[in-house]
Structure 1
Amino acid sequence: MTSELAKTFDPAAIEAKWYRHWEETGAFRPERPDATPFTIVNPPPNVTGSLHIGHALDNTLQDIMIRYERLRGKDALWVVGTDHAGIATQMVVERQLEAQQDKRTNYTREQFVEKVWEWKAESGGTITGQLRRLGCSMDWSREQFTMDPHFTRAVVKVFVDLHRQGLIYRDKRLVNWDPRLKTAISDLEVETREVKGGFWHFRYPLADGVTLDNGQDYIEVATTRPETMLADMAVAVHPDDERYTSVVGKDILQPITGRRFEVVADEHADPELGSGAVKITPGHDFNDFEVGKRAGIKPADMLNMLDAEAHVIQTADGLVPEEFIGMERFEARSLVVQRMKEQGFLIPHVDKDGAEHDAEPRTIQTPFGDRGGVVIEPWLTDQWYVDAATLAQPPMQAVRDGRIEIVPKSWEKTFFNWMENIQPWCVSRQLWWGHRIPAWYDADGKAYVAETEEEAYALYRHSREGGNPAAAELDPRLRGDDEGVEGGNALTRDPDVLDTWFSSALWPFATLGWPEDGEPSPLEGRGLGEGNAASASAAPASKGSPPSPALPPEGERESLLAKHYPNDLLISGFDILFFWDARMAMQGMHFMGEVPWRRLYLHGLVRAADGQKMSKSKGNVVDPLGLIDKYGADALRFFMAAMESQGRDVKMDESRVEGYRNFATKLWNATRFCQANGIGASTSIAAPPATSAVNKWIIGEVVETLAQLDKALADLRFDAAANTIYQFTWATFCDWYLELIKGQVDEETKAVAGWALDQILVMLHPFMPFITEELWHAQGTRDYDLILARWPAPQAAVDADAKAEVDWLIEFVEKVRSMRAELNVPPAVMLTSAVDSLDDALRYRISNNLSSIQRLARVAHVQFDVGNVFSVGDAPQSLNVFGAIVLNKSPSAQVVVSTATYVFPLEGVIDIAAEKQRLAKARDASAKERDSLAKRLDNPAFVEKAKPEAVDKARADHAHHAAEVERLEAALARLG
């Protein structure tokens, strides 16, 4: 029994109701133990985060696929959870403390971590609530958090196993150092900004009276960071640069510090850039670090001139003048320039007017920490590294042999380029919040890596007794009894935590219960056993950590990982291809022996309407929740799908979102029409029997639409899928089918129309879940919710004759309507027509559809005539209507439909002269605009110098006016 719909569609009234119902009834993961699995894991958003427009795109695409596969009957699992976001979360809590005139260092590590857990319990669920507002049908019953106890155990096990295999090690290398946060950060957390700066040129004197071939006793070097001079260790020149061949291997006597170092030959120096010589500071520049290593300088011997807060400290050789010690780095920059200038070693920059300046002005691409907001410092420090180059090999092979399909395929080249040149992955962070690194150090600084402190002491004891720690790690007999080892306090825990990308790399399998619920890993049984691997940073469930929500019921444990790994699909932005996607592939293949997902879909970014990247500083950020409030979640979701075209960036266009809200309203009103005409819910999955052409036609249109939609989703062409269901719903069903059946709704039509509307609701549901569920139930009593319905299976074919007949009718009506609009024929006027055809099939079509022709095209009748060609002199008195119009050149309009020409007498219908004048005036105006725009576009200065959006608009306007001229000339031609 149908329930009458409100006159107006109000998204807010239905969204919360249906989402709550779905979640409470377990609809997001129905019990389907024997069904084919389909698995997606969401990129876990930061627990500190709130929904941004990129999340809206990413999660909409995932939800489309999970709802689609659920409707197809699969055991569809969408794993959901949040990332503990080490830096971001610690900053949030520290800011709270600062607001209370408090700070982190007033607490012990354990006390501070406790406060973070308290914050998570109170405020850490913001984004999960917002994902619900978007309609994401995730399996919330298994919501994950990367600091959950089971996940922490997995993280610790992976670290220890990789260390035992020699794939994790401690090394001294340069890192991106944030002096404000006092931690290493990843490349993803570095943003480049343009900063006004300078390019200083200095003389570095050659030592011992050595000169260049031209007699010059110094080498000119240039730098944008003069302060790093305090830790210089070489000057590099290109090995083929003849200007410096004679001084390679000779010493420089550096100003200010008096440090002696060599001129080295290295291809890093560009002979075409400046003087061709560059100063080398291996402890404070990534390129210089590599040059230093090639020159034979060991990382342990590289000079460090800054502390963790980027203040100058004394270098190991003690040559930094005392006046610099303790200075902030940019203050030290100014003093270095001042001292070099005073000593005559500064080469001034002469501008075009002949004026001298200390430096050449430059706009410099400068790295900033996206969280700390200060300039990042390359800093030489001891950190933990993963041998990413080794782990990268299996994923590359998997992409090559097709086990991992990257969509769009164009991203493969980028993937291989990065993976083939991958650098060691720094995984340690100097924070308190996160997974504590499972390493303990003895008094000599030797590290013992183990899953628990007890195991670390076993390794320590074995090492002291003269054993081989590496062998001890493989000896399960060494677990346990470590009492009395120097009171249990001989070892000190590593204070660092792991990079959050390290833990999230385990997302596809650790979220399914690994290692407890999976097959033994390659190392299982050879290590020291499992033990309690809970991190010191993990808190009990009562402090905000869920009580192991992530572990499936006992009976499901063994099968969950086996059934849902590998995942079927990963959808992510291309911007995290290397930081998350590639690392999941590395860890998944290493620990599971299988790819983490079979397909990787990389979508673009959502940009502002003008194509610029959204940022708070530009003020062009769009709030998806505001759009949901204004237009509804369904409209925003459909916009995201319709605009997503295989990896291209999406330009935000609020008018399009509004348009899709209108689309939802159109469907709402179409359903109200059905209700008013007694059309209710279908009782059949298969198409009902049909005899009329229009009913056969709509069934065939469903069949064709379904095939196109299935293909588009199989190819992950979200734009094509959205456009397919949009066109069928709006144009085919609402604009034509419902119009064609008006006044002719018999029992057959009720059954077919109700069935066709049901097919729309099912096919549209993945894109617009809320309105479709509401309309599904409004149409009648159902045995199940739409979210759990069956994907369409019409069990019907396209009726070619019916399709041809209705397509002809639609073409006829459209062309007549177009003609009427062009010539200003009043809507109330019924036209007559004549057609020069003797085709019996056409005669049948017209007579069979005359009522629709009269109602939709406002054509009273169509006269069939003999169509003979007469000369004026031979024309008989009984000349047919068609011939009379043609021969007498009476005012008329002609419309061609298929191969037949229809003539419409216009004498007395419109003012022919006035209409010609109106059309000619409009044509001339458009022609003038067309020609003006063509002239502008032919001007190279405009095309090359104008903003791209201005050029695009000019081209679009030119195309519009050119088309208008053609349309108006055709209309004039109709009038003769």
Structure 2
Amino acid sequence: MDKTYQPHTIEASWYKTWESEGYFSPQGTGDSYTIMIPPPNITGSLHMGHGFNNAIIDVLIRFHRMQGHNTMWQPGTDHAGIAAQMLVERQLESIGYNRHNLGREKFLQEMWEWEDRSGGNISRQIRRLGSSVHWTCERFTMDNGFSKAVKEAFVRLHQDGLIYRSKRLVNWDTKLHTAISDLEVENHYEKGFLWKLKYSLTDGAKTAEGKDYLIVATTRPETMFGDAAVAVNQTDERYKTLIGKFVELPLIGRRIPVIADDYCDHEFGTGCVKITPAHDFNDYEVGKRHNLPLLNIFDKNAAILPACQVFNIDGTLNENIHGNIPAEYAGLDRFEARKQIVAALDAAGILISVDTHDLKLPQGDRSGTVIEPWLTDQWYVSTQVLAKPAIEAVEDGRIQFIPKQYENMYFAWMRNIQDWCISRQLWWGHRIPAWYDASGKAYVGRDEAEVRANNNLSANTALQQDSDVLDTWFSSSLWTFSTLGWPEQTNALKTFHPTNVLVSGFDIIFFWVARMIMLTMHLLKNDDGTPQIPFKTVYMHGLVRDSHGEKMSKSKGNVLDPLDIIDGIDLETLIQKRTSGLMQPKFAQKIEKQTRNEFTNGIASYGTDALRFTFCSLASTGRDIKFNMSRVEGYRNFCNKIWNAARYVLYQGEDCGQNGEEVALSLSDRWIMSQLQRTITEVTCQIDRFRFDLAAQTLYEFIWNQYCDWNLELSKSVLCNKNLPIQFQRGTRYTLVRVLEIMLRLAHPFMPFITEEIWQRIALLAGIQGKTIMLQPWPIADETCIDKTAESDIEWLKTLITSTRNIRAKRHVSSGKFMAIFVKNASTEDQRRLTENDALLKKLAKLESITVLTAVAEAPLSLITLVGQMEVLVKVADLIDNGSELDRLNKKIAHFQGIVQRMDSKLSKIAFLNNAPDVVINKERAKLAEAEQALSRLIEQYARISTL
């Protein structure tokens, strides 16, 4: 082995070997164990969340592979719909193009070229992370097989009455020109305005105060042309007599009714609210209850377009389609229209006041633009029918969430679920398998030929396919089974589904997890006809945050690339990566300053194993992860520790009983073998419980503290003791090799590269056959090797040795100087341990003698420490230079003499004693007594040292 651990010299070559030899393929003889990778989006590089997720899954896969399970980790990537299309569109804009210039076909060619580059890059990154995925079955959510599965799922759900097309209000992204789901909307709170407007009453109607108008409060005056009513609360005495009357819409004079609805709040504004059903979600529900007309004011030319054609709604007022919009406002952006409309209302005397108002502003999570509620035809999944069995599967334990509290989040959403809008007005994605005739009638089928055949449509009937695509989450919801060949009943589907575990961040529990459960349970059935679940366990982990607890994001400039930690990156390149993109110069300067302060010399190369072990050590269930580079550095040192221990064992390993020679185990051998069994049990238990942090902690404690720090040191006392029979030295070598080999297998799921490299050498000494550690059996604890006597004896020895070393360190005694110790109150057990381990104690604690004192014997001046009830006395003369110690004591004596003098003077003053409270006087007397006692001890110690 090389003298120093160099991860890059071993990682690339070992991964190539593993992959080329087919070690990642399913091959165990036990029950199947399957995990589907949460497919990363083809939008660039993997981030820290992906690195963390992959590390956790690979621990589980390697662990179960070593346990003999028929393991399969399905890899793949997601086409990422909106996100990927946005990215490519930005690239085109940078060279003066857009998708409309290119047309759909050429734009999709650009998208596929991007997928080839990005998907390939992601696959390379997954390999660098050491992930043992089944590469020969890699999938993409728009490959041919997946497309077939998506069409099949859509058609079946439509046939079952669970997919339908309907005109409803949606969240419309005016920048991306597509509908988005509620889950893709972020609500931001900011200061806005509340405009109060006069709506004139008609037909001579008046309010209780005798006014011929209502004052209507609104936060969106630009939508007034779409108003269908003014609503009041039926219990509001101010407006009871006006219910059923009419008001005139300002600026255009259209009559609209005054209606009563519980939605209205007496306390909000004036108690009168304008109802615009086509442009507000709450108003839409009011409109349905009162059968109000739906008047779009933003749907440019929508009325004359066929149902299959996409049109871009960018937030401009339409061209008077409904006869509602004065010509001067047609074509204006909604916010510009607001300014002009408010000015016109003010000029007409209609604007009463403008008040500041706390506003909830919905924004698209990707575009950042203000979302416009918009009435349009979209495709929906009816979710309440699907949600019921999905809820029951979690309630009865067929699917378990870890941590369990995430079940509450799941239930809360599923029990209040709304129908899912699955159509998107994009070009990149699975095109909806629906065709329209000239009248706008929709036909659903797997392809146009099937549509014509099933509906007896002649060749002369013109059909046009829906131009919309499906929400990305619809296709990814089929991930666990469509990757295995569904709708065909393949052997892979029968063998590996349901999958065992889904490892995912809690932030997509609604986007993905719940939808996978719903669609899988509807589309797949067990042999007995019951719904099949997609997975048995959902392990939800937290988000990876920076060292300050902030969410990592490009806009904050605190993103870390896992490959930069593995390979290292210089400071200037790191700054360039963090500040690249469209940023304000001042903000870029701030990020540069923060980066220079945090990463003075850039990021060193730590290797994959150190990063993976860091992720696992931080994986406490459900909590967000504060990622700190010092942890990675510490675990890189851990790798070095293992490497150096292996070099020592290899150097000592010959004649370790591998050929059947007789061996005898020393106390330290029996102790480390016993501790190993407990470690095997604990690590296995914690992985089974998904407590990767505790498993990593247990491994670290055993390897660093017990094996490397203590056992290797204890072994030297045996190997260097020529008075011991050769069987004991051979036994120690046997133990060193055997424990290291098992220890490497325990650590392999966490640190695959370094364990494989060392195991290849250690296995030869241990007489173990096999080409790779990853196919070796997972260690099983041997209860017969647990030796409680050896454990207690070694713990006693460790305490004694550590105590004397601490005294040596505190007193700055040279490591080459041997000390004499005395023991008092030694029990029979203590004396046995002292006798049996005399040579070992003297060697490791650097002792020249160990003297057991009788009850009447007087010890020399000593420092005392305890080992249980036994007192250990270290002779002071061995620890100090008399002259220096007397000088030190003189200074301390003078210090306490000054304290005693001052306190004595204070307590002798009559005025203090007469005026101070008793509590204060008693406190000062106690301080004096303490100082006098300390002074007395120092003087006594000075006198004793003076006689040495």
If the length of structure 1 is used for normalisation, what is the TM-score?
0.80
Q: Aligned match of 2:329 in 300, 316, 324?
A: 324
Residue 406 of structure 1 corresponds to: 401
Residue 573 of structure 1 corresponds to: 505
Change (3 A) 1:215 1:769: farther
How far the C-alpha of 1:193 sits from its partner, in A, is: 4.6
* 1:285-296 correspondence runs (5 A): 285-296=280-291
How far the C-alpha of 1:160 sits from its partner, in A, is: 0.5
- Within 2, Cα distance between the matches of 1:58 and 1:240? 55
- Within 2, Cα distance between the matches of 1:401 and 1:635? 40
Deviation per residue, 1:791-826 (Å, 9 max, x gap): 112434311111111111112222333333344444
Residue 937 of structure 1 corresponds to: none
* 1:583-622 correspondence runs (5 A): 583-592=515-524, 593-622=531-560
Q: Aligned match of 1:761 in 740, 744, 747?
A: 744
Note if contact 1:432-1:496 (Cα within 8 Å) is conserved in structure 2.
yes
How far the C-alpha of 1:690 sits from its partner, in A, is: 5.4
SS of 2:22 mapped into structure 1: coil
Change (3 A) 1:220 1:134: farther
Residue 563 of structure 1 corresponds to: 495
SS of 2:785 mapped into structure 1: coil
Unmatched 5+ residue regions in structure 2? 301-312, 525-530, 568-604, 720-728, 897-933, 943-948
Q: Aligned match of 1:788 in 775, 780, 791?
A: 775
Residue 946 of structure 1 corresponds to: none
Q: Does 1:893 align with 2:889?
A: no
SS of 2:376 mapped into structure 1: strand
Change (3 A) 1:815 1:236: farther
How far the C-alpha of 1:645 sits from its partner, in A, is: 1.1
Deviation per residue, 1:518-554 (Å, 9 max, x gap): 2xxxxxxxxxxxxxxxxxxxxxxxxxxxxxxxxxxxx
Q: Aligned match of 2:820 in 817, 820, 832?
A: 832
Residue 22 of structure 2 corresponds to: 26
Q: Does 1:628 align with 2:566?
A: yes
- Within 1, Cα distance between the matches of 2:193 and 2:802? 67
- Amino acid in the other structure paired with 1:25: E
Q: Does 1:154 align with 2:128?
A: no
Q: Does 1:582 align with 2:514?
A: yes
Residue 645 of structure 2 corresponds to: 670
How far the C-alpha of 1:141 sits from its partner, in A, is: 0.6
Which region of structure 1 is more displaced relative to structure 2, 228-237 or 632-641? 228-237
Change (3 A) 1:122 1:907: closer
Residue 943 of structure 1 corresponds to: none
- Amino acid in the other structure paired with 1:818: N
SS of 1:835 mapped into structure 2: strand
Q: Does 1:719 align with 2:717?
A: no
Note if contact 2:745-2:779 (Cα within 8 Å) is conserved in structure 1.
yes
Change (3 A) 1:848 1:404: same
Which region of structure 1 is more displaced relative to structure 2, 570-579 or 812-821? 812-821
Change (3 A) 1:16 1:975: farther
Residue 334 of structure 1 corresponds to: 339
Note if contact 1:893-1:975 (Cα within 8 Å) is conserved in structure 2.
no
Deviation per residue, 1:364-394 (Å, 9 max, x gap): 4433334434222221110000011111111
Note if contact 1:679-1:753 (Cα within 8 Å) is conserved in structure 2.
no
Q: Aligned match of 2:455 in 447, 452, 460?
A: 460
Residue 78 of structure 1 corresponds to: 73
SS of 1:431 mapped into structure 2: coil
How far the C-alpha of 1:747 sits from its partner, in A, is: 1.0
- Within 2, Cα distance between the matches of 1:277 and 1:816? 84
Residue 843 of structure 2 corresponds to: 855
SS of 1:759 mapped into structure 2: helix
- Within 2, Cα distance between the matches of 1:201 and 1:278? 10
Note if contact 2:826-2:852 (Cα within 8 Å) is conserved in structure 1.
yes
Note if contact 1:205-1:217 (Cα within 8 Å) is conserved in structure 2.
yes
Q: Does 1:696 align with 2:628?
A: no
Q: Aligned match of 1:507 in 474, 479, 490?
A: 479
How far the C-alpha of 1:277 sits from its partner, in A, is: 3.9
Residue 733 of structure 2 corresponds to: 750
Note if contact 1:429-1:499 (Cα within 8 Å) is conserved in structure 2.
yes
- Within 2, Cα distance between the matches of 1:579 and 1:378? 21
SS of 1:634 mapped into structure 2: helix
Which region of structure 1 is more displaced relative to structure 2, 7-16 or 220-229? 220-229
- Amino acid in the other structure paired with 1:716: F
How far the C-alpha of 1:227 sits from its partner, in A, is: 1.7
Give percent identity, aligned residues only.
45
- Amino acid in the other structure paired with 1:26: G
Change (3 A) 1:98 1:843: same
Unmatched 5+ residue regions in structure 1? 349-357, 462-481, 519-557, 868-878, 924-967
Which region of structure 1 is more displaced relative to structure 2, 672-681 or 412-421? 672-681
Deviation per residue, 1:40-70 (Å, 9 max, x gap): 0011111233111111111111111111111
How many residues in Structure 1 have an aligned counterpart in Structure 2? Answer: 832
Residue 798 of structure 2 corresponds to: 810
How far the C-alpha of 1:151 sits from its partner, in A, is: 1.1
* 1:541-552 correspondence runs (5 A): none
Residue 879 of structure 2 corresponds to: 909
How far the C-alpha of 1:845 sits from its partner, in A, is: 1.0
Note if contact 1:47-1:125 (Cα within 8 Å) is conserved in structure 2.
no
How far the C-alpha of 1:126 sits from its partner, in A, is: 1.4
Residue 528 of structure 1 corresponds to: none
Aligned-residue Cα RMSD (Å) equals: 3.0
Residue 595 of structure 2 corresponds to: none
Q: Does 1:135 align with 2:130?
A: yes
How far the C-alpha of 1:766 sits from its partner, in A, is: 1.0
Note if contact 1:448-1:459 (Cα within 8 Å) is conserved in structure 2.
no
Residue 738 of structure 1 corresponds to: 712
Deviation per residue, 1:657-709 (Å, 9 max, x gap): 1111111111111112222323699969x9x9753111111111111111111
- Amino acid in the other structure paired with 1:14: I
Note if contact 2:36-2:480 (Cα within 8 Å) is conserved in structure 1.
yes
Deviation per residue, 1:21-52 (Å, 9 max, x gap): 111111112533x3210000011111233111
Note if contact 1:181-1:372 (Cα within 8 Å) is conserved in structure 2.
yes
- Amino acid in the other structure paired with 2:2: A
Q: Aligned match of 1:656 in 590, 612, 631?
A: 631
Q: Does 1:642 align with 2:617?
A: yes
Which region of structure 1 is more displaced relative to structure 2, 648-657 or 815-824? 815-824
Deviation per residue, 1:703-749 (Å, 9 max, x gap): 11111111111111111111111111111111111111124231111
SS of 1:124 mapped into structure 2: helix
Deviation per residue, 1:69-105 (Å, 9 max, x gap): 1111111100110111222333343344434433322
Note if contact 2:686-2:694 (Cα within 8 Å) is conserved in structure 1.
yes
Note if contact 1:690-1:696 (Cα within 8 Å) is conserved in structure 2.
no
Q: Aligned match of 1:378 in 367, 373, 376?
A: 373
Q: Aligned match of 2:468 in 483, 486, 496?
A: 496
- Within 2, Cα distance between the matches of 1:733 and 1:374? 58
Residue 308 of structure 2 corresponds to: none
Note if contact 1:457-1:491 (Cα within 8 Å) is conserved in structure 2.
no
Which region of structure 1 is more displaced relative to structure 2, 895-904 or 753-762? 895-904
Note if contact 2:30-2:68 (Cα within 8 Å) is conserved in structure 1.
yes
How far the C-alpha of 1:194 sits from its partner, in A, is: 5.5
Residue 49 of structure 2 corresponds to: 54
If the length of structure 2 is used for normalisation, what is the TM-score?
0.83
- Amino acid in the other structure paired with 1:226: P
- Within 2, Cα distance between the matches of 1:48 and 1:811? 56
- Amino acid in the other structure paired with 1:346: L
- Within 2, Cα distance between the matches of 1:154 and 1:776? 44
- Within 2, Cα distance between the matches of 1:728 and 1:286? 59
- Within 2, Cα distance between the matches of 1:780 and 1:664? 19
Residue 298 of structure 2 corresponds to: 305
Note if contact 1:682-1:754 (Cα within 8 Å) is conserved in structure 2.
no
Note if contact 1:823-1:915 (Cα within 8 Å) is conserved in structure 2.
no
